[in-house]
Protein backbone atom coordinates (compact mmCIF):
# COMPACT_ATOMS: atom_id res chain seq x y z
CA UNK A 1 0.00 0.00 0.00
CA UNK A 2 1.31 3.47 -0.81
CA UNK A 3 0.87 6.62 1.22
CA UNK A 4 -1.94 8.94 0.14
CA UNK A 5 -0.94 11.85 -2.08
CA UNK A 6 -2.31 15.21 -0.99
CA UNK A 7 -2.00 18.58 -2.63
CA UNK A 8 -0.33 19.67 0.58
CA UNK A 9 1.73 16.78 1.98
CA UNK A 10 0.63 15.65 5.42
CA UNK A 11 3.70 15.30 7.67
CA UNK A 12 3.54 13.43 10.96
CA UNK A 13 6.13 14.73 13.43
CA UNK A 14 7.64 12.64 16.22
CA UNK A 15 9.72 14.59 18.75
CA UNK A 16 10.53 14.31 22.43
CA UNK A 17 7.90 15.74 24.77
CA UNK A 18 4.20 16.34 24.34
CA UNK A 19 1.47 18.94 24.82
CA UNK A 20 3.62 21.65 23.26
CA UNK A 21 6.52 21.03 25.66
CA UNK A 22 9.54 19.90 23.70
CA UNK A 23 13.33 20.39 23.89
CA UNK A 24 14.68 23.50 22.20
CA UNK A 25 16.33 21.48 19.43
CA UNK A 26 12.99 19.90 18.55
CA UNK A 27 11.39 23.31 18.22
CA UNK A 28 14.22 24.81 16.16
CA UNK A 29 14.80 21.88 13.82
CA UNK A 30 11.31 20.44 13.39
CA UNK A 31 8.29 21.90 15.19
CA UNK A 32 8.72 25.57 14.32
CA UNK A 33 9.90 24.77 10.78
CA UNK A 34 6.80 22.66 10.16
CA UNK A 35 4.55 25.41 11.55
CA UNK A 36 6.30 27.98 9.37
CA UNK A 37 5.84 25.86 6.23
CA UNK A 38 2.20 25.13 7.14
CA UNK A 39 1.43 28.83 7.52
CA UNK A 40 2.59 29.27 3.93
CA UNK A 41 0.34 26.49 2.69
CA UNK A 42 3.27 24.26 1.77
CA UNK A 43 2.32 21.29 3.94
CA UNK A 44 0.03 20.14 6.70
CA UNK A 45 1.55 18.76 9.85
CA UNK A 46 0.64 17.23 13.15
CA UNK A 47 2.85 16.61 16.14
CA UNK A 48 2.18 13.01 17.16
CA UNK A 49 2.21 11.53 20.64
CA UNK A 50 4.87 8.82 20.62
CA UNK A 51 3.14 6.55 23.13
CA UNK A 52 -0.15 6.78 21.28
CA UNK A 53 1.47 6.00 17.95
CA UNK A 54 3.26 2.99 19.41
CA UNK A 55 -0.02 1.72 20.86
CA UNK A 56 -2.47 2.57 18.06
CA UNK A 57 -0.37 2.95 14.91
CA UNK A 58 0.21 5.95 12.69
CA UNK A 59 -2.65 8.17 11.48
CA UNK A 60 -4.03 6.85 8.21
CA UNK A 61 -3.53 9.98 6.11
CA UNK A 62 0.20 10.63 6.49
CA UNK A 63 2.41 11.23 3.47
CA UNK A 64 5.69 11.52 5.42
CA UNK A 65 6.84 10.57 8.92
CA UNK A 66 9.45 12.97 10.34
CA UNK A 67 11.36 11.67 13.37
CA UNK A 68 13.69 13.95 15.32
CA UNK A 69 16.76 12.31 16.84
CA UNK A 70 15.82 9.38 19.09
CA UNK A 71 12.19 10.33 19.71
CA UNK A 72 11.47 6.61 19.41
CA UNK A 73 13.18 5.71 22.68
CA UNK A 74 13.37 1.91 22.54
CA UNK A 75 14.18 -0.56 19.78
CA UNK A 76 10.78 -2.20 20.29
CA UNK A 77 8.83 1.05 19.87
CA UNK A 78 10.97 2.03 16.90
CA UNK A 79 10.39 -1.30 15.15
CA UNK A 80 6.63 -1.11 15.72
CA UNK A 81 6.24 2.41 14.31
CA UNK A 82 8.68 1.94 11.45
CA UNK A 83 7.09 -1.36 10.39
CA UNK A 84 3.72 0.39 10.26
CA UNK A 85 5.21 3.10 8.05
CA UNK A 86 6.84 0.52 5.80
CA UNK A 87 3.68 -1.52 5.28
CA UNK A 88 1.74 1.60 4.33
CA UNK A 89 4.47 3.04 2.10
CA UNK A 90 5.07 6.15 4.24
CA UNK A 91 8.66 7.40 3.81
CA UNK A 92 10.57 8.14 7.00
CA UNK A 93 12.77 11.22 7.41
CA UNK A 94 15.18 11.38 10.35
CA UNK A 95 16.40 14.76 11.61
CA UNK A 96 19.77 14.58 13.37
CA UNK A 97 21.54 17.59 14.85
CA UNK A 98 24.40 15.93 16.77
CA UNK A 99 26.86 13.12 16.17
CA UNK A 100 25.03 10.17 17.69
CA UNK A 101 26.46 7.69 15.19
CA UNK A 102 30.26 7.38 15.29
CA UNK A 103 31.95 5.07 17.76
CA UNK A 104 33.95 7.84 19.44
CA UNK A 105 30.86 10.00 19.91
CA UNK A 106 28.84 7.09 21.29
CA UNK A 107 31.52 6.22 23.81
CA UNK A 108 31.38 9.82 25.04
CA UNK A 109 27.59 9.81 25.23
CA UNK A 110 27.45 6.53 27.14
CA UNK A 111 30.00 7.90 29.61
CA UNK A 112 27.45 10.69 30.19
CA UNK A 113 24.79 8.02 30.90
CA UNK A 114 23.16 8.22 27.47
CA UNK A 115 21.51 4.81 27.29
CA UNK A 116 22.53 2.09 24.86
CA UNK A 117 18.83 1.38 24.33
CA UNK A 118 18.24 4.86 22.93
CA UNK A 119 21.16 4.44 20.54
CA UNK A 120 19.83 1.06 19.43
CA UNK A 121 16.44 2.66 18.74
CA UNK A 122 18.17 5.37 16.71
CA UNK A 123 19.88 2.68 14.64
CA UNK A 124 16.46 1.23 13.80
CA UNK A 125 15.34 4.66 12.54
CA UNK A 126 18.57 5.17 10.60
CA UNK A 127 18.06 1.88 8.80
CA UNK A 128 14.46 2.73 7.88
CA UNK A 129 14.99 6.36 6.87
CA UNK A 130 14.63 7.39 3.24
CA UNK A 131 16.45 10.63 4.08
CA UNK A 132 18.47 11.89 7.04
CA UNK A 133 18.51 15.66 7.50
CA UNK A 134 21.59 16.96 9.33
CA UNK A 135 22.87 20.36 10.40
CA UNK A 136 26.43 20.43 9.04
CA UNK A 137 28.58 18.96 6.29
CA UNK A 138 30.86 17.50 8.97
CA UNK A 139 27.96 15.56 10.44
CA UNK A 140 26.85 14.48 6.95
CA UNK A 141 30.31 13.05 6.26
CA UNK A 142 30.36 11.14 9.53
CA UNK A 143 26.94 9.68 8.84
CA UNK A 144 27.95 8.50 5.37
CA UNK A 145 31.06 6.86 6.85
CA UNK A 146 28.90 4.80 9.24
CA UNK A 147 25.75 4.05 7.24
CA UNK A 148 26.28 2.73 3.71
CA UNK A 149 24.12 4.26 1.00
CA UNK A 150 22.28 6.67 3.29
CA UNK A 151 20.68 9.68 1.59
CA UNK A 152 21.72 12.78 3.54
CA UNK A 153 20.49 16.35 3.19
CA UNK A 154 22.43 19.12 4.96
CA UNK A 155 20.15 21.89 6.21
CA UNK A 156 21.96 24.37 8.48
CA UNK A 157 20.18 25.57 11.57
CA UNK A 158 18.06 28.66 11.14
CA UNK A 159 15.65 30.64 13.30
CA UNK A 160 11.90 31.11 13.02
CA UNK A 161 11.22 34.69 11.82
CA UNK A 162 7.86 34.70 13.57
CA UNK A 163 9.50 33.95 16.92
CA UNK A 164 12.78 35.82 16.65
CA UNK A 165 11.49 38.79 14.68
CA UNK A 166 11.12 40.07 11.15
CA UNK A 167 13.32 42.64 9.47
CA UNK A 168 11.40 45.35 11.32
CA UNK A 169 11.15 43.73 14.75
CA UNK A 170 14.63 42.29 15.34
CA UNK A 171 15.93 43.47 18.71
CA UNK A 172 17.90 46.69 18.49
CA UNK A 173 21.47 46.43 19.76
CA UNK A 174 21.71 48.44 22.95
CA UNK A 175 24.26 48.81 25.77
CA UNK A 176 23.71 46.48 28.70
CA UNK A 177 22.43 47.78 32.02
CA UNK A 178 24.47 47.66 35.24
CA UNK A 179 27.68 45.75 35.82
CA UNK A 180 28.97 43.60 32.95
CA UNK A 181 27.45 40.13 32.80
CA UNK A 182 28.05 37.31 30.31
CA UNK A 183 25.49 34.73 29.17
CA UNK A 184 26.27 31.10 28.37
CA UNK A 185 23.46 28.73 27.45
CA UNK A 186 23.39 25.21 26.06
CA UNK A 187 22.43 21.58 26.62
CA UNK A 188 23.77 19.21 29.26
CA UNK A 189 26.36 17.85 26.79
CA UNK A 190 28.42 21.03 27.32
CA UNK A 191 29.85 20.42 30.80
CA UNK A 192 33.46 20.38 29.57
CA UNK A 193 32.86 23.57 27.61
CA UNK A 194 31.56 25.30 30.72
CA UNK A 195 34.71 24.25 32.57
CA UNK A 196 36.76 26.10 29.95
CA UNK A 197 35.23 29.33 31.28
CA UNK A 198 36.14 28.70 34.93
CA UNK A 199 38.72 31.48 35.12
CA UNK A 200 37.06 33.90 32.68
CA UNK A 201 34.71 35.69 35.11
CA UNK A 202 37.54 36.60 37.52
CA UNK A 203 37.89 40.30 38.38
CA UNK A 204 37.62 42.61 36.54
CA UNK A 205 35.79 40.27 34.15
CA UNK A 206 32.02 39.86 33.89
CA UNK A 207 29.73 37.88 36.14
CA UNK A 208 28.56 34.74 34.36
CA UNK A 209 24.95 33.55 33.96
CA UNK A 210 24.54 29.92 32.89
CA UNK A 211 21.29 28.70 31.34
CA UNK A 212 20.93 24.96 30.84
CA UNK A 213 24.30 23.15 30.60
CA UNK A 214 24.19 22.16 34.27
CA UNK A 215 21.77 22.06 37.18
CA UNK A 216 24.64 22.28 39.69
CA UNK A 217 25.32 25.50 41.53
CA UNK A 218 28.74 27.00 40.98
CA UNK A 219 30.83 29.40 43.02
CA UNK A 220 32.01 31.16 39.86
CA UNK A 221 28.75 31.37 37.90
CA UNK A 222 25.05 31.90 38.53
CA UNK A 223 22.58 29.26 37.36
CA UNK A 224 19.54 30.93 35.86
CA UNK A 225 16.30 29.63 37.39
CA UNK A 226 13.27 29.75 35.11
CA UNK A 227 10.72 28.10 37.35
CA UNK A 228 10.13 24.58 38.60
CA UNK A 229 9.38 23.23 35.15
CA UNK A 230 11.38 23.68 31.97
CA UNK A 231 10.15 26.68 30.02
CA UNK A 232 8.98 25.81 26.48
CA UNK A 233 11.36 27.20 23.87
CA UNK A 234 9.04 29.92 22.48
CA UNK A 235 8.47 31.30 25.98
CA UNK A 236 12.19 31.06 26.72
CA UNK A 237 12.98 33.11 23.61
CA UNK A 238 10.49 35.78 24.66
CA UNK A 239 11.99 35.80 28.17
CA UNK A 240 15.54 36.14 26.86
CA UNK A 241 14.74 38.88 24.40
CA UNK A 242 12.91 40.93 27.00
CA UNK A 243 15.82 40.59 29.42
CA UNK A 244 18.52 41.05 26.79
CA UNK A 245 19.98 44.17 28.43
CA UNK A 246 21.02 42.14 31.46
CA UNK A 247 24.04 40.94 29.45
CA UNK A 248 26.98 42.71 27.87
CA UNK A 249 28.32 39.72 25.97
CA UNK A 250 27.43 36.09 25.20
CA UNK A 251 29.84 33.15 25.23
CA UNK A 252 30.10 30.03 23.05
CA UNK A 253 33.08 27.93 24.22
CA UNK A 254 33.92 24.59 22.63
CA UNK A 255 36.73 22.34 23.79
CA UNK A 256 38.71 20.69 21.00
CA UNK A 257 37.10 17.25 20.80
CA UNK A 258 35.58 14.95 18.20
CA UNK A 259 31.95 15.39 19.32
CA UNK A 260 32.06 19.20 19.24
CA UNK A 261 33.44 19.38 15.71
CA UNK A 262 30.09 18.20 14.31
CA UNK A 263 27.93 20.62 16.32
CA UNK A 264 26.08 23.56 14.76
CA UNK A 265 26.36 27.32 15.26
CA UNK A 266 22.89 27.66 16.81
CA UNK A 267 24.12 29.54 19.89
CA UNK A 268 25.73 32.18 17.69
CA UNK A 269 22.46 32.61 15.80
CA UNK A 270 20.39 32.98 18.97
CA UNK A 271 22.82 35.33 20.68
CA UNK A 272 23.01 37.45 17.54
CA UNK A 273 19.23 37.62 17.16
CA UNK A 274 19.14 38.94 20.74
CA UNK A 275 21.53 41.71 19.72
CA UNK A 276 24.37 40.35 21.86
CA UNK A 277 28.00 40.22 20.72
CA UNK A 278 29.35 36.66 20.79
CA UNK A 279 32.76 35.46 21.92
CA UNK A 280 33.22 31.92 20.56
CA UNK A 281 35.89 29.26 20.18
CA UNK A 282 37.52 29.43 16.74
CA UNK A 283 36.75 25.80 15.90
CA UNK A 284 34.02 23.50 14.69
CA UNK A 285 30.78 25.30 13.87
CA UNK A 286 32.15 28.72 14.85
CA UNK A 287 35.31 28.62 12.72
CA UNK A 288 33.74 30.88 10.08
CA UNK A 289 31.65 33.05 12.42
CA UNK A 290 34.30 35.76 12.65
CA UNK A 291 33.37 37.03 9.18
CA UNK A 292 29.81 37.49 10.43
CA UNK A 293 30.62 39.45 13.56
CA UNK A 294 31.70 36.97 16.24
CA UNK A 295 34.84 37.52 18.31
CA UNK A 296 36.85 34.29 18.01
CA UNK A 297 39.23 32.73 20.55
CA UNK A 298 41.84 30.30 19.31
CA UNK A 299 43.40 29.33 22.64
CA UNK A 300 42.63 28.30 26.18
CA UNK A 301 41.56 30.03 29.37
CA UNK A 302 44.14 32.82 29.25
CA UNK A 303 43.12 33.88 25.73
CA UNK A 304 39.45 33.59 26.66
CA UNK A 305 39.95 35.88 29.64
CA UNK A 306 41.94 38.40 27.62
CA UNK A 307 39.48 38.43 24.71
CA UNK A 308 36.46 38.92 26.96
CA UNK A 309 38.18 41.76 28.80
CA UNK A 310 39.10 43.42 25.51
CA UNK A 311 35.53 43.11 24.24
CA UNK A 312 34.14 44.56 27.48
CA UNK A 313 36.50 47.51 27.26
CA UNK A 314 35.42 48.58 23.76
CA UNK A 315 31.71 49.36 23.58
CA UNK A 316 31.87 50.68 20.01
CA UNK A 317 33.46 47.44 18.78
CA UNK A 318 30.91 45.33 20.69
CA UNK A 319 27.99 47.17 19.13
CA UNK A 320 29.53 47.05 15.64
CA UNK A 321 30.11 43.29 15.85
CA UNK A 322 26.66 42.66 17.30
CA UNK A 323 24.99 44.65 14.51
CA UNK A 324 26.92 42.78 11.83
CA UNK A 325 25.97 39.45 13.37
CA UNK A 326 22.34 40.43 13.78
CA UNK A 327 22.16 41.54 10.15
CA UNK A 328 23.70 38.23 9.05
CA UNK A 329 21.08 36.23 10.92
CA UNK A 330 18.24 38.43 9.69
CA UNK A 331 19.38 38.28 6.06
CA UNK A 332 20.69 34.71 5.78
CA UNK A 333 19.77 32.50 8.75
CA UNK A 334 16.01 32.70 9.13
CA UNK A 335 13.81 29.95 7.69
CA UNK A 336 13.72 30.22 3.91
CA UNK A 337 12.02 28.41 1.08
CA UNK A 338 15.32 27.72 -0.68
CA UNK A 339 17.29 26.26 2.27
CA UNK A 340 16.57 22.65 1.26
CA UNK A 341 14.44 21.65 4.24
CA UNK A 342 11.10 21.49 2.46
CA UNK A 343 12.50 19.45 -0.42
CA UNK A 344 14.20 17.04 2.00
CA UNK A 345 10.92 16.44 3.83
CA UNK A 346 8.36 16.37 1.04
CA UNK A 347 10.71 14.86 -1.56
CA UNK A 348 11.79 11.92 0.62
CA UNK A 349 9.71 9.43 -1.34
CA UNK A 350 11.68 10.20 -4.50
CA UNK A 351 14.96 8.97 -3.04
Report the alpha-carbon angle 166-34-337, nearest 5: 60
Give percent of the chain above pLDDT 90. 64
Exposed/middle/buried for 222, CB within 10 Å: 0-12, 13-18, 19+?
Answer: middle
Taking 70 as the threshold, does the pLDDT of residue 20 lie above it?
yes
Domain 162-332 -> CATH class: alpha beta
Exposed/middle/buried for 338, CB within 10 Å: 0-12, 13-18, 19+?
Answer: exposed
Q: How confident is the model at residue 221, as a pLDDT?
A: 65
Spatial separation of the C-alpha atoms in residues 185 and 181, rounded to whole Å: 13
Q: Indicate if the alpha-carbon torsion angle 338, 341, 345, 351 is positive or negative.
A: positive
Q: How confident is the model at residue 301, as a pLDDT?
A: 83
Exposed/middle/buried for 287, CB within 10 Å: 0-12, 13-18, 19+?
Answer: middle
Lowest-confidence pick of 56-65, 165-174, 323-332: 165-174
Q: What DSSP letter does each residue of 288-308 carry, written as one string?
A: TGGGGT-EEE-SSHHHHHHHH
CATH code: domain 10-158+336-350 is 3.40.50
Q: How confident is the model at residue 3, as a pLDDT?
A: 44
Span 196-200, average pLDDT: 73
Of 313, 238, 342, 329, whose CA–CA distance to 275 is shortest? 329
Exposed/middle/buried for 145, CB within 10 Å: 0-12, 13-18, 19+?
Answer: exposed
Lowest-confidence pick of 46-55, 125-134, 203-212: 203-212
Taking 60 as the threshold, does the pLDDT of residue 236 lie above it?
yes
Q: What is the pTM of this model?
A: 0.90
Span 259-284, average pLDDT: 94
Q: How confident is the model at residue 1 (pLDDT cuts 50, 70, 90)?
A: very low
Instruction: Give residue-wise pLDDT tens across range 43-90.
Output: 999 999 999 999 999 999 999 999 999 999 999 999 999 999 999 999
Of 103, 146, 135, whose CA–CA distance to 263 is shortest? 135
Spatial separation of the C-alpha atoms in residues 152 and 335, rounded to whole Å: 19
Q: How confident is the model at residue 243 (pLDDT cuts 50, 70, 90)?
A: confident
Which helix H or strand E contains 138, and what residues bound it? helix 137-146
Taking 50 as the threshold, does the pLDDT of residue 4 lie above it?
no
- List the chain domain ranges: 10-158+336-350, 162-332
Taking 60 as the threshold, does the pLDDT of residue 240 lie above it?
yes
Q: How confident is the model at residue 177, as a pLDDT?
A: 77
Q: How confident is the model at residue 186, as a pLDDT?
A: 78
Q: What DSSP letter does each residue of 278-293 carry, written as one string?
A: EEEESSGGGTTGGGGT
Exposed/middle/buried for 233, CB within 10 Å: 0-12, 13-18, 19+?
Answer: buried
Q: How confident is the model at residue 34, as a pLDDT?
A: 96
Span 13-42, average pLDDT: 92
CA 260 to chain centre: 13
Q: How confident is the model at residue 203 (pLDDT cuts 50, 70, 90)?
A: low
Q: How confident is the model at residue 90, as a pLDDT?
A: 96
Mean of the per-residue pLDDT values for the chain? 87
Helices then strands, each counted (H, E), the chain = 14, 12
Tell me, yes or no, if the two domains 10-158+336-350 and 162-332 fold the same way. Answer: yes
Amino acid sequence: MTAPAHERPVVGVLVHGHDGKHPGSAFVRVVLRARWAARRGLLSHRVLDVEQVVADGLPRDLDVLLVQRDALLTPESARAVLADADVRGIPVVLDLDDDLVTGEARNRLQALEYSAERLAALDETLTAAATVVVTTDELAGRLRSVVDGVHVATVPNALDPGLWGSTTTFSAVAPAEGEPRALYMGSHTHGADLELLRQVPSAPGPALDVLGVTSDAGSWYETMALGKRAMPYPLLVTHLRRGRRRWTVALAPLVDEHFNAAKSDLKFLEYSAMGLPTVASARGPYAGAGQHGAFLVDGGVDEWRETVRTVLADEASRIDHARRAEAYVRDQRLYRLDDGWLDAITGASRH
